[in-house]
Structure 1
Amino acid sequence: MSHPRSVAPEIDFYRGVSYVGGLVAIGAIYFASAKGGLALASIHPSATPIWPPTGVALAAVLLRGYWIWPAIFTAAMIANATTAGSVASAIAIATGNSLEALAGAYLINRWSSGCSTFARPNSVAKFALICVVIAAPISASIGLTSLSIFGYIEPRNFADAWVTWWLGDVTGALVIAPVIVLWASDHHHVFNRHEFLETVGVLATAAAVGLIAFSPLIEQTPGRDPLGFLAILPMLWAALRRGPRDTATVALVLAGITIWGTLTGGGPFTTTNPNASFLPVLMFLISITVPSLLLSADVAVRKKAEESLRRAQIELERKVAERTQELELANAAKSRFFAMASHDLRQPLHALGLFVAQLRMPLKTRERTKTVERIDATRKEMDEMFNSLLDISRLDAGTLIPKITEFPIVRLLQKVETTFRQATREKGLRLRVRPSNAWVRSDAMLLERILINLVSNAVRYTLQGGILVGCRRRGDMLRIEVWDSGPGIPEDQKQNIFGEFFQVSAPVRNRTGGLGLGLFIVERLRLLLNHQIDLASTVGRGSRFAILIPTVDECVTSTPPVDSPHPGAFAVEGKVILVIADAAIVQEGTGGLLDKWGCSVLAAGSDEAALVRLAKREQRPDLIISDYHLASGKTGIRAIEQINAAFGSSIPAILISGDTAAEPLRDARDKGYILLHKPVDPMRLRAVMHELFRDHEGRDTGRAL
């Protein structure tokens, strides 16, 4: 195996050979074109009206770089030294030719987009201006000045020779350089037969027009002279249809035929003085080439703009079609949502109706107690459904914004165990929650919702055995796992279980309440938190869900959690509660429950009615419980604020709303009120009341101290 260093000299050698080969090739082409142009000189052997080397040199520098100047200099020096003058004058002329190409290419690169100069009209105009005003005068001025110094040209012929030299260089640059640059830099395209035939057609037309107007094969008469204007036809065809490359090629074909015809005595430009004949030829070629290149560039820009617009329209149509399809799918999903929700919500409502009918009949104490328990279980089932719908609504509305904090995972594990202890015991299942001292970084509330949904799903589908919740450390991540001994998930359904309304097929005896949204909510929440979740399951043996959370070092400075006091520590008996609700049934239900808890209840349908009731009672309420939406477009927040203003103090308040939009939650948060969503679990309401009374009594104690 050879060492890489041994390859380097070989690579350098091939680069050197390639460089020298390029110089030789360019120099040979330049020399041949130079000798051909000098053969047409008449006013002076070194001042010819036809000078293709300018275009060759300019194109070579643009395409290959400034390093090829030695080839131009050497070829120009040899061509002039073997034609007329001396070696010194040949060196001076070669210097002018080299500077002409280098200066022109440098300005075109800096000012006129380099090899892309023929792609836009303004760049073509800059290219023509550089060639006419800057590049060509350099060669003509240096060359003729050197010939004058060495005595090879008479002063009286200097002006005519300079104009001839200048026009020859300008024509070479404007006619030859574009053809070489455009053909060399043209990107490869897939062969198109129609475009190829059109290119052949326009070139053939240019050749035919050139032969008709300038060929010596046809006798030149005064009536034939205007035929030279026909040259504009193929130029327009190429400019409008074929682009800059074919336009430049057509100009070259016409230039070749025109020069040949004039040289052999044909065409409208022929006179007895060859030099005088070629000067109008040059002006003619410049006048048809530059405008045609400008027009072709403008047409090309317009075609690109039209193509971009067409593509943008196609892309817009595609996006509209995709969006329309998404909307159709969303509408179908919404219809499916309402159908599924309607069906599943009717089930517990139907059961509630039957249980209520049973309560109206004479029942023994044990039967009545059992029926009440079934009603409560059905209510909890409905509550779980509504919570799922509420979660979906919040996720869709974008109102769930994660609040990332650092906390011990043991709190959530304890919450899971407390929440499902009774449910698993009633089903005869074992629930084991293994504690962990790890601290994690996440949103505690949303992570709790994920774990609650995972364990709830496990409890729902597990008929025997148990559920295990535990943690494993994986580097800087904590892996929380939920195991169950349920029916398992078939392999072909693992990709679908996180979809909305999806429920794994199960025996009829396991068909419990639920909308099939639990794992869908889990997926949405874990994406919101950017947590990873994976699943392993075996049919008939159970499943394991695992979620990975970033861990942090234990925050020893954090305030240790304070255990919530037992509800009895802050009794609600004797508290004056103001209930504001515009629905009589809500007033009766809330008031009846609070009355059973030993509270003194005042119920009203509006803020005005509440103020009247309070004025008659002449007693400040201890707590206000108000619906968020009241009659006449008013809100519970406004009612609470008016009552606070009437008593000149801040009264603890709870808002209750069935609206899942972001506005009620934002308004309540801004005012510092607690917002509960309907249906409200009675125990949840009682716990919030205890918390408010505890905080209020704590503030009163602090002020007393």
Structure 2
Amino acid sequence: MAGVVPTQLSSRTARTVLEIIAVAACYYAGGRLGLLKSLVVEESVVSPIWPPTGIALAALLVLGLRCWPGIAIGAFLVIISISPLQLNILGFMIGNTLAPICSYLLLRAAGFRKEMDRLRDGMALVFLGALVGMLISALAGVGVLYITGKIEAEDFWAVWSAWWAGDAMGVLVVTPVLLLLTHARWPRSTARWGEVLALVVCTVVVAPFATRSSLGLLFLAYPLLIWAALRFQLVGSTLSALFISVLAAVAAVDAVGPFAHRGRLEIMINLQAFNVTLALSGLLLAAVVTEQYETRQRIEEACRELAEVVDQLAPGEATHRWPLPERDARRGRRELGGGPGGGRGGWPGDGPGGGPGDAGEPR
């Protein structure tokens, strides 16, 4: 028995070390991706979408606070890859580490669930995780730039707002996708693959045109997002928002389409206003729809239990009324174009209950 405890401790320590290394590697990779497309605002380089903040928050939500050294190491590696090794990088590293930790603690205090199947989860991620938590990294980063004389006092708030918006966007578009990947499953039913393909084709065709057209057609992205959120909930809305936001960021950096002939600060303001409203709309709409499906499933379960009680009191009276005969259920699924149900973390139309076209769809 004495040898079992040290073995378990060493195994746990090794797993924690591997998790820290993995988080650091993912953070660094996300940082390099974010630097591929960046904007210069008041002589300071900022990224319109900073993926490391989303990666860091998702890691904390999944693994817990034990992975925070990986965030610090990843931030250090990103910083030294673009600037010489100086004492001021400590301020950047502390800010980039504390911001996701603050967001994580705020979300825990608010009772956030990684499944994001409630409206309150979407609201908490947007306002506490993204908008409030990322204030720390923006203040720390821009504060270091100001103290070291890299920016002037009159440029402070312009650079700060661009920095804060980029960090917040990383949380809004990256964290939901990573959280869904931890519990999502491949759909077993193929009943709705036609609609999935239609949505993908429309998004791939319309989104690049909307983000690069000089006619100012960014609003065309919203019908795609609404379609994805209503029919495929969080899986559809988060992936659509991520794809469209990345295309918009690329168009802004290239100064084409609706971002042409504008100043850098004006481009940043328009881009972040669009991306924030896009991510906010997708998250909240998908959360509302998912919450409604969960509520309906609980109601259906309560009706089944009530039917069993009635059947015990009056045998034969309830079984022909509830649940619906299988023939009627199959007919309802065909009329709605859905599969046999949707599950939490899965796709609508896959699994028992929760998606359009369930056998228990109210009539």
**TM-score, with structure 1 as normaliser:** 0.42
* Aligned CA distance change for structure 1 residues 29 and 271 (closer, same or farther; 3 Å): farther
Q: Per-residue displacement from partner, 1:254-274 (whole Å, max 9, x unpaired)?
A: 112222233334331234544
Task: Answer yes or no: is the 8 Å Cα contact 1:174–1:289 preserved in 2.
Answer: yes
Separation of aligned partners in 2, 1:185 and 1:326: 41
Task: Answer yes or no: is the 8 Å Cα contact 2:104–2:129 preserved in 1.
Answer: no
Q: Per-residue displacement from partner, 1:630-652 (whole Å, max 9, x unpaired)?
A: xxxxxxxxxxxxxxxxxxxxxxx
Partner of 2:33: 36
Partner of 1:124: 122
Does 2:308 correspond to 1:309? no
What is the identity, as a one-letter code, of the residue corresponding to 1:170? A
Partner of 1:294: 284
3-state SS of 1:148 partner: helix
* Aligned CA distance change for structure 1 residues 151 and 265 (closer, same or farther; 3 Å): closer
Does 2:227 correspond to 1:228? no
Q: 1:157 Cα deviation (Å)? A: 1.8
Q: 1:177 Cα deviation (Å)? A: 1.0
Separation of aligned partners in 2, 1:42 and 1:96: 21
Separation of aligned partners in 2, 1:209 and 1:326: 55
Q: Per-residue displacement from partner, 1:121-174 (whole Å, max 9, x unpaired)?
A: 133223212135421111111111122212222222211110110111111111
Task: Answer yes or no: is the 8 Å Cα contact 2:51–2:171 preserved in 1.
Answer: yes
Aligned residue pair count: 315
* Aligned CA distance change for structure 1 residues 190 and 311 (closer, same or farther; 3 Å): farther
What is the identity, as a one-letter code, of the residue corresponding to 1:130? L
Partner of 1:582: none
Does 2:158 correspond to 1:160? yes
Does 2:141 correspond to 1:143? yes
* Aligned CA distance change for structure 1 residues 204 and 190 (closer, same or farther; 3 Å): closer
Superposition map of 1:88-127 within 5 A: 88-116=87-115, 118-127=116-125
Q: 1:103 Cα deviation (Å)? A: 0.5
Q: 1:18 Cα deviation (Å)? A: 2.0
Q: Per-residue displacement from partner, 1:37-75 (whole Å, max 9, x unpaired)?
A: 234141245533331111111111111111111111111
Task: Answer yes or no: is the 8 Å Cα contact 1:45–1:84 preserved in 2.
Answer: no
* Aligned CA distance change for structure 1 residues 133 and 50 (closer, same or farther; 3 Å): closer
* Aligned CA distance change for structure 1 residues 45 and 301 (closer, same or farther; 3 Å): same
Superposition map of 1:206-355 within 5 A: 206-215=203-212, 220-221=213-214, 224-225=215-216, 227-271=217-261, 273-325=263-315
Superposition map of 1:437-448 within 5 A: none
Q: Per-residue displacement from partner, 1:78-117 (whole Å, max 9, x unpaired)?
A: 212331365322111110111100000111011142424x
Superposition map of 1:455-466 within 5 A: none
Separation of aligned partners in 1, 2:262 and 2:187: 50
Separation of aligned partners in 2, 1:110 and 1:45: 35
Task: Answer yes or no: is the 8 Å Cα contact 1:105–1:114 preserved in 2.
Answer: no
Superposition map of 1:528-567 within 5 A: none
Q: 1:195 Cα deviation (Å)? A: 4.2
Separation of aligned partners in 1, 2:194 and 2:99: 38
Separation of aligned partners in 2, 1:164 and 1:7: 53
Separation of aligned partners in 1, 2:264 and 2:174: 22
Separation of aligned partners in 1, 2:111 and 2:168: 17
Q: Which aligned segments of 4 or more residues in structure 1 are displaced greater than 6 angstroms?
A: none
Task: Answer yes or no: is the 8 Å Cα contact 2:211–2:247 preserved in 1.
Answer: yes
For structure 1, which runs of at least 5 residues remain unmatched after alignment?
Answer: 328-705
Separation of aligned partners in 2, 1:75 and 1:189: 31
Superposition map of 1:493-512 within 5 A: none
Does 2:54 correspond to 1:55? yes
Q: 1:298 Cα deviation (Å)? A: 1.1
Structure with the higher strand share, 1 or 2 = 1
Does 2:171 correspond to 1:173? yes
What is the identity, as a one-letter code, of the residue corresponding to 2:226? L
Instruction: Give the stretch that moved more between structures: 270-279 or 17-26.
Output: 270-279
Q: Per-residue displacement from partner, 1:503-548 (whole Å, max 9, x unpaired)?
A: xxxxxxxxxxxxxxxxxxxxxxxxxxxxxxxxxxxxxxxxxxxxxx
Separation of aligned partners in 2, 1:24 and 1:198: 40
Partner of 1:24: 21
What is the identity, as a one-letter code, of the residue corresponding to 1:65? G
Partner of 1:365: none
Where relative contact order (Cα < 8 A, 6+ residues apart) is larger, the structure is 2
For structure 2, which runs of at least 5 residues remain unmatched after alignment?
Answer: 318-363
**TM-score, with structure 2 as normaliser:** 0.79
3-state SS of 1:87 partner: coil
Q: Per-residue displacement from partner, 1:602-647 (whole Å, max 9, x unpaired)?
A: xxxxxxxxxxxxxxxxxxxxxxxxxxxxxxxxxxxxxxxxxxxxxx
Q: Per-residue displacement from partner, 1:196-240 (whole Å, max 9, x unpaired)?
A: 55444433332222122124xxxx44xx32x22111112111221
Quick check: which has more Rg, 1 or 2? 1
Separation of aligned partners in 2, 1:190 and 1:287: 29
What is the identity, as a one-letter code, of the residue corresponding to 1:57? A
* Aligned CA distance change for structure 1 residues 91 and 83 (closer, same or farther; 3 Å): same
Separation of aligned partners in 1, 2:305 and 2:84: 66
Task: Answer yes or no: is the 8 Å Cα contact 2:228–2:240 preserved in 1.
Answer: yes
* Aligned CA distance change for structure 1 residues 151 and 81 (closer, same or farther; 3 Å): farther
Separation of aligned partners in 1, 2:261 and 2:271: 11
3-state SS of 2:260 partner: coil
Task: Answer yes or no: is the 8 Å Cα contact 1:46–1:83 preserved in 2.
Answer: no
Q: Per-residue displacement from partner, 1:286-309 (whole Å, max 9, x unpaired)?
A: 112112211111111111222222
* Aligned CA distance change for structure 1 residues 65 and 203 (closer, same or farther; 3 Å): farther
Task: Answer yes or no: is the 8 Å Cα contact 2:251–2:259 preserved in 1.
Answer: no
3-state SS of 1:242 partner: helix
